[in-house]
Chain A
Amino acid sequence: GAGVSQSPSNKVTEKGKDVELRCDPISGHTALYWYRQSLGQGLEFLIYFQGNSAPDKSGLPSDRFSAERTGGSVSTLTIQRTQQEDSAVYLCASSHHRGEAFFGQGTRLTVV
């Protein structure tokens, strides 16, 4: 596609439920990032995929969070047993190995 696509754009879920957020990166981009942004805050790094290398998961806040990237393309971020503090905008970005990152429009997650 022309840009990074994320779905859904908005998600409201009940506390304790699992959610899956999807990211479709720009075709040919080897790097894919997940960030989280709470209202009025900066970007919090979550996880980074680069080609076939093992992902950098150092930013995942707890073991309730996981992500995978299938076939070097689409990525899914899964949050299990959601908590209210998980409410935020989840941003996905992709880039060539050393190029600038292009962001999707994000998924706004609200845990009620």
Chain B
Amino acid sequence: GQNIDQPTEMTATEGAIVQINCTYQTSGFNGLFWYQQHAGEAPTFLSYNVLDGLEEKGRFSSFLSRSKGYSYLLLKELQMKDSASYLCAVRDTDSWGKLQFGAGTQVVVTP
């Protein structure tokens, strides 16, 4: 089975930086994904890590440490439109690569 933990909610100011942590305990590991979900909409893909290290994509970066079962999503230069839920998902090596999601972190950006 899998256990994926992330904080429930974080608040930050427009223009600031926020780091969303995700820890996982899985029977196998074959990649970690971050998704963004605005209220009432479907999740959209943000980033993918399968090797240790940092992946940077514009204002968003994602880090992975497989030995620690740990990832974070870093959002820089926060904008009001970044207010959303951020979902951490792990692909396991069993069941031909099922994607299992954490409960999501609600990020609130204030003016």
Chain B binds chain A: yes
A→B interface (CB under 8 Å): 31, 33, 35, 41-43, 45, 48, 50-51, 53, 56, 58, 91, 93, 95, 97-98, 100-106
Please state if A53 and B96 are interface contacts (CB–CB under 8 Å).
yes
Q: How far is the CA of A43 from the CA of B88 in the complex (A)?
A: 10
Please state if A97 and B101 are interface contacts (CB–CB under 8 Å).
no
Q: How far is the CA of A101 from the CA of B43 in the complex (A)?
A: 9
Please state if A42 and B103 are interface contacts (CB–CB under 8 Å).
yes
Please state if B99 and A101 are interface contacts (CB–CB under 8 Å).
yes
- Sample (25) of A-B pairs whose CB atoms are under 8 Å apart: A31-B96, A31-B97, A33-B98, A42-B87, A42-B104, A43-B104, A45-B99, A48-B98, A48-B99, A50-B96, A51-B96, A53-B96, A58-B95, A91-B43, A97-B96, A98-B30, A98-B97, A100-B48, A101-B45, A101-B89, A101-B99, A102-B45, A103-B42, A103-B43, A105-B42
**A-contacting residues, B41-91, CB 8 Å:** 41-45, 48, 87, 89, 91
The number of chain B residues with a CB under 8 A from chain A is 22
